[in-house]
Amino acid sequence: MSPDLPIPVALIGYGFAGRTFHAPLIGAVPALSLAVVASRDADRVHADLPGVDVLADPLHAAVDPRIELVVIASPNDTHAPLARAALAAGKHVVVDKPLTPDLADARALVELAQRGGRLLSVFHNRRWDSDFLAVREAVDAGRIGEVVHLESRIERFRPQVRDRWREQAVPGGGLWWDLGPHLVDQALQLLGRPDTVLASVAAQRDGAQAADWAHAVLAFGSRRAVLHASVLAAAAGARFVVHGTRGSVVKRRPDPQEAQLIAGVRPGDAAWGVDDDALEWHDDRGGVQSLPTPRGDQSRYYAGIAAALRAGGANPVTPRDALDVMAVLEAAERSAATGRAVEPDWR
């Protein structure tokens, strides 16, 4: 492909993730051109993207000779075979989180990408959320000293079980595999690799087929990260609470970008990523200050992908990062099944 032309992209899957996140974020990066969408509902795609070619067969999109970058936003249990096909066809690949529901499959994909010299990345978009950016900025600035305790939670109120694969008893289904990757990736970005994981999951709603409540405690020596997700929380707790040797920070409300994307707000709009919920900084002298929250911008992920492919930039989410998240996700599953703390498999 010519380095002077936009990178032609195929998006596989036009469900919630593909339509709400990937398509508009790809569209916000001039160096990327969304050319193909794999979907069984061509009318729905063309209503949003009239100039895009729609293919019913995702495998055809994965190997389409017109395409340089394949983005996989289909159900989790399809990630491995579609990514394998795309990599074998010489494509660069972005996979929606998690990379796969199986760590061995994930490692095989990384090896295939390395052998072929192709970029493989995972869409851990919430590294560019305003809430996480605010916490990371405060931690990096040393405002609270060494972090000793991190609480990170994503809580929603959705009491009705919906008919969608994410809430079914399928590989990669359930809340831990839906929201857990975000919680884990952010914790690893702040604290590094944990020594052990102790986790519990439950199906709390009437008719639930898969876990809709998840709780994990990651141990880093004497430090702890508490990760929590629920869909039965009408009164959600603070998004982040972080305690350190010199103080604490609290971020009460979550990043607005998902709600904005659903409402039609796009990168570049005046309101995009603006978060008026300030970070609370409790210092070691007993004072409380409000710190402005940085503007979130998840399109920076795709800008990073384009830079990696055209300008020698770094992969914004490396395969090693993705494997580390997978190792924690699987350790949590083993812990929940056995009731014991489990060491992640870092191979």
Residue 98 belongs to domain with CATH number: 3.40.50.720
Residue 154's closest CA among 215, 93, 195? 215
Residues 319-344: pLDDT tens digits? Answer: 999 999 999 999 999 999 999 999 99
Which residue, of 91, 123, 155, is where some domain finishes?
Answer: 123
Q: What is the pTM of this model?
A: 0.96
Per the CB < 8 A criterion, the answer to whether 113 and 121 are in contact is no
What percent of the chain lies above the pLDDT cut of 90? 95
Domains in the chain: how many in total? 2
The continuous run of DSSP H or E covering 47 comes out as helix 42-48
How far, in whole angstroms, is CA 293 from its chain's centroid?
Answer: 20
Strands of the sheet with 69-72, listed across from one edge: 53-55, 32-38, 7-12, 69-72, 92-96, 120-123
Residues 164-174: pLDDT tens digits? Answer: 888 898 888 99
Both 223 and 181 in one domain: the answer is yes
Domain housing 113 = 7-123
In a domain, 312, yes or no: no
CA distance 181 to 185: 6
Sign of CA dihedral 263, 268, 271, 274: positive
Q: Which residues pair with 54 in a beta bridge?
A: 37
